[in-house]
Amino acid sequence: MSWTEVVIEVARDHAEALSDALMEAGALSVSVEDADEGTDAERPLFGEPGMEPKEAAWDHSRVVALTDVDADQFAIVQEAANAIRLPVVPSFTTRAVADADWVRLTQSQFEPIHIGTNIWVVPSWHEAPDPNGLILELDPGLAFGTGSHPTTRLCMEWLEAHPAPGKSVLDYGCGSGILAMVAKKLGAEDVAGVDIDPQAIESARANAERNNCVIDFYVPNDLAVAANTRHARGQFDTVVANILSSPLKLMAPMLAGRVAPGGSLVLSGVLARQADEVAAAYAPFIKLGVWAEQDGWVALHGTLGQENAPPPRQAAAG
């Protein structure tokens, strides 16, 4: 089977409405691109969390609609233009889309990811580049956490640099469960993951089973119940939370309360410019400092009961 793409260049004000109208008129899918991509006029659309634009469009946008090869492309564009009351039917070009092995094509976009010294995140359709490394078999999915984002990488690197054989670890906001699995494979004994999304919990459990990791996963309320039985006092030797700065600040008393005396707290999902305010929220409970920074994101860490924040990774390595 093959398809035809309809390509229309429009101003920002019409991009979103035209996209919706094209779908109503019979397009199979629609995407919006920066028409200036690859030129000096190209502009990034999405930036830092909390600063996303209201519309997924650029001042000079390109709307691309996928249609059946035998569809009447002019009629589709005309119907969409009339629906949003454009004064004239916009000009457009078409291009053929040949059939392809879309599964294989999609899989080819995801290669093994090397993290830290010895960690590899490997999709199920790849061989591990280093079979002697710490291998996590993990496919891209709905739950956050494949190791590609700097915040996930920072947390994984911290866990690798601070293995806790025989100790307990809590991954709060676990997503795919990747941090909990790293801790388990590094020798942690009692490992738990928590997420507010039941779908993430389901994904994390499946990932842990695939990687032969025995980990308990909970929604927050269930952790509170389990703390009285499975996990001593609900406190852990290491608590890691890769979320975002606003919820991290709100959860400061709770997350700090999950850290056992002498235990470590690791936070990420924090932009470098937000580090001081997040550390200030935790200051009454635990002294946090920046452990490392990557692409504008940081990982904060601290030890419960330690008077001062520990040094960053670079200073510790020297």
Measured CA to CA, the distance from residue 260 to residue 265 in angstroms comes to: 10
Measured CA to CA, the distance from residue 248 to residue 278 in angstroms comes to: 7
- Is residue 98 classed exposed, middle or buried when 0-12, 13-18 and 19+ CB atoms within 10 A define those classes? exposed
CB count within 10 Å of CB 301 equals 27
Sign of CA dihedral 134, 259, 246, 161: negative
CB count within 10 Å of CB 252 equals 21
Residue set of the binding site: 152, 173, 195, 242
Nearest C-alpha neighbor of 92 from the set 174, 18, 172: 18
Residue with tokens 């507010």: 196
Residue set of the binding site for S-adenosyl-L-methionine: 152, 173, 195, 242
Measured CA to CA, the distance from residue 60 to residue 21 in angstroms comes to: 19
Sheet holding 29-34, edge to edge: 29-34, 60-68, 3-11, 93-97
CB count within 10 Å of CB 34 equals 18
Cα-based angle 151, 153, 157 (whole degrees, multiple of 5): 120
CB 294 within 8 A of CB 314: no
Describe the crossing of helices 150-161 and 178-185 by its angle, rounded to 10 degrees: 20
Counted residue by residue, the chain has a size of 318
